[in-house]
Amino acid sequence: MITFESAINRLAERVSDRTQESRNIRLQRRNQVVDIYGMEFTRQGDIGEPASFYISISPDLIYFERFEFKVIIESFRVPIAGANGDSDSGISLETVRVRDRSLNLNVESTSLNSDTAELGLTTADISVSETVASPNPHSHQLSPNPHNHQITPNPHRHTIPSHNHTITPNSHNHETDPHNHTIRAGMSFETVTASQFTIWIWIEDKGQIGLIPGLIEPIVSSSGDDMLRINMTPYFMALLPAEPRFRWINGEGVFPSAGLINFDVLEAVAYMDEKLREGILKPGYKRIDIEGDGIFNATLVNYLKYSHVNR
């Protein structure tokens, strides 16, 4: 049974609720949400040169709601020259004009100097002692026999005088006539040669995390700061569904290759040590590297959502 007092109490409660709602409506929101859906970043990579991507997280981060990405590996085009290409081949012909040019050869007189040289002959005579020359049967007689041949004067020398050889004319020019060179211009296609890929995330090194070769490696950044890079590959591979279509990155294509499945950083860090997890989820400028064993073009498709303090 509703009494007068209970009716007054209910009315008072409703007035209080409406008053609180009115105050909440007039209050400014304290937090904001950043929601990035499918923003693409493209880089090239090669052996020893990873494709590096940078993602900025607000320093007044409150919490992540989503931190995922896809990876697209594909061939890429390299411009040869700034020309309007042929519609069929993408190649056009450009003419390069070479104007009058002269090549000057400034060389002083060049001499080949030779000091006096002597050839000495010390043998005085040549002796012949045989009397008969063969073959036989028959004989050729040498007369007088035996006898000597004398070299006169003996001993004696041959002398080579000093002399110079000069290169002329000196100095001189080589001239070329104006002429044209025809080059091919347009786009050149670089195909993907890489087939093995790894994904790394950089974090700040505070000396609290142990190094594990191939998984946690030290890096000295260009600014001189000590950094660590974390190999995310084994975590992402373990989280992929056990189906052939969800294969790891092995060449050209979109990875993960089907559906709405992405490489989920928040899910991966749940299996990590607390210090690693804190380092990866710390706000700031994030660097993600994709490494391959050959030439490749990589696109990172970023899905990021987080709350931060209203500014």
Write down the pTM of the prediction: 0.58
- Residue 31 is predicted with a pLDDT of 79
Whether 90 has a pLDDT exceeding 50, the answer reads no
At 40-68, the pLDDT tens digits run 999 999 998 999 999 999 988 989 999 99
Residue 45 lies in a domain: yes
Count: domains in the chain: 1
Residue 266 lies in a domain: yes
Residue 96 lies in a domain: no
Residues spanned by the domain of 248: 29-75+191-309
Q: Which of 225, 231, 233 is nearest to 204 (CA)?
A: 225
- For the domain that residue 231 is a member of, what is the CATH number? 2.60.120
At 210-250, the pLDDT tens digits run 888 888 888 876 666 788 999 999 999 999 888 877 889 99
Give mean pLDDT, residues 248-256. Answer: 92
Residue 47 lies in a domain: yes
Whether 152 has a pLDDT exceeding 70, the answer reads no
Residue 117 lies in a domain: no
Residue 295 lies in a domain: yes
Whether 121 has a pLDDT exceeding 60, the answer reads no
Longest Cα–Cα distance of the chain, Å, equals 174
